[in-house]
Amino acid sequence: MEIDRPLEAPFSESIEFIRENLTRKTHDIAVVLGSGLGGFSAHLDDKESLATSDIPGYPRSTVVGHSGQIMSAQVARKKVLVFSGRVHYYESASTLNAAVTAIVSHALGIKTIVLTNAAGILNEAFYPGDLMLIKDQLNFTFRNILADMRFPLRNLQPIYSDAMAGRMYEAAERASVNLKGGTYVGLTGPSYETPAEVRMYRKLGGDAVGMSTVQEALYARATDMEVVGISCLTNYSTGITSEKLSHAEVTEIGARVDKKFSGLLTSFIGAL
């Protein structure tokens, strides 16, 4: 069954504005930077920036550490569209707003998207500062953008591209990054998990937990993009240690892992 209306319709004004205001009309890849991971922006060459607050119809982010920029740039001689900062589901209770990065990327004809995020650790074999390739997701938001956009029933397995995962591991080897792998549990937030919830997610096979990514991944995969996910593990989830979790801790670790995070992404993009 075909979808009988343009998929980008909800953000058509934003998309038109972005198209008109960026010099590059095509990009090899889109990259979405999670909380505290905006440092990657320093590695962009020949950069053009749009503030999301200047884009008509674009949803607003209110979270500290999300600067709200869309950048078109070169990385390792590839053309990259970078979203620095995203809108979380809990900011507007809208899956469409939560996935605007993927909707815009698809509308601009981009075929591959790297979704990055800051996440809490569920798997005790992992440490704060580790990077984890997202192999699969547990969508504990119990929302699905594809239902909200009336997509027809279809099988999306695997959501995260095996081919791109292989390339990301190769990039990790070149960049001497010890890349972990695991299942990302996506929650709506904005409250952090309770210790009982953390015990449950662990039992169900979750390795990391966060409040983004799952809707973007669903939309991107459903529109035939290749999806890659990287979690920057910033903290042990509630109850694994006795430390009390704060957003400041999340952004601070993000800044500390910038070198290896940027090295990994640059190596991956350069080999596309």
Active site residues: 35, 66, 88, 90-91, 118, 211-212, 235, 247
Q: Residue of minimal CB distance from ligand HPA?
A: 120
Give the CA count within 13 Å in the CB-facing half-sphere of 237.
29
Q: Which residues contact 272 (CB under 8 A, 6 or more apart)?
A: 28, 29, 78, 112, 167
Instruction: Tell me: does residue 119 bind ligand HPA (CB under 6 A).
Output: yes
Verify binding: residue 101, ligand HPA, rule CB under 6 A: no
Nearer to ligand HPA, 151 or 192 (CB): 192
Work out whether 201 is an interface residue with ligand HPA (CB under 6 A): no
Q: Does 177 bind ligand HPA (CB under 6 A)?
A: no
For 4, which DSSP code?
S
75 binds ligand HPA (CB under 6 A): no
Q: CA gyration radius for the chain?
A: 17
Which 8-state DSSP code applies to residue 238? B
Are 114 and 230 in contact, with CB atoms under 8 Å apart? Answer: yes
Q: Which of residues 227-246 bind ligand HPA (CB under 6 A)?
A: 234-235, 237, 245
Token representation of residue 137: 């997701």
Q: Is 182 a binder of ligand HPA (CB under 6 A)?
A: no
Measured from the CB atom, the residue of 151 and 184 that comes closer to ligand HPA is 184
Give the residue with the Cβ less far from ligand HPA, 29 or 185: 185
Q: Tell me if 51 sits within 8 A of 83, measured CB to CB.
A: no
Return the number of the residue (91 or 193) whose C-beta is nearest ligand HPA: 193
Residue matched to tokens 């080897």: 173
Residue 98 CB, nearest approach to ligand HPA (Å): 14
Measured from the CB of residue 187, what is the shortest distance to ligand HPA in angstroms? 6
Indicate the SS3 state at residue 194: coil
Q: How many CA atoms lie within 13 A of 171 on its CB side?
A: 25
- Residue in 58, 192, 219, 268 binding ligand HPA, rule: CB under 6 A: 192
Identify any residues that bridge with 183 across adjacent strands, giving them in sequence order: 136
The dihedral built from the CA positions of residue 30, 36, 38 and 42, taken in this order, carries a sign that is negative
Q: Which stretch binds ligand HPA (CB under 6 A): 11-19, 55-63, 207-215, 255-263?
A: 207-215
Select 11 or 201, whichever has its Cβ closest to ligand HPA. Answer: 201
Q: How far is the CB of 76 from ligand HPA (least distance, A)?
A: 28
Counting Cα atoms < 13 Å in the Cβ hemisphere of 9 gives: 7
Q: Which of 128, 182, 210, 254 binds ligand HPA (CB under 6 A)?
A: 210
Helix pair angle (258-270, 247-256), 10° resolution: 60
Site membership for ligand HPA, residue 262 (CB under 6 A): no
Tokens of 99: 């996935």
Q: How far is the CB of 236 from ligand HPA (least distance, A)?
A: 8
Length of the chain: 272
- The reply to whether 211 sits near ligand HPA by the rule CB under 6 A is yes
Where do contacts with ligand HPA occur on this chain (CB under 6 A)?
118-120, 192-193, 209-211, 234-235, 237, 245, 250
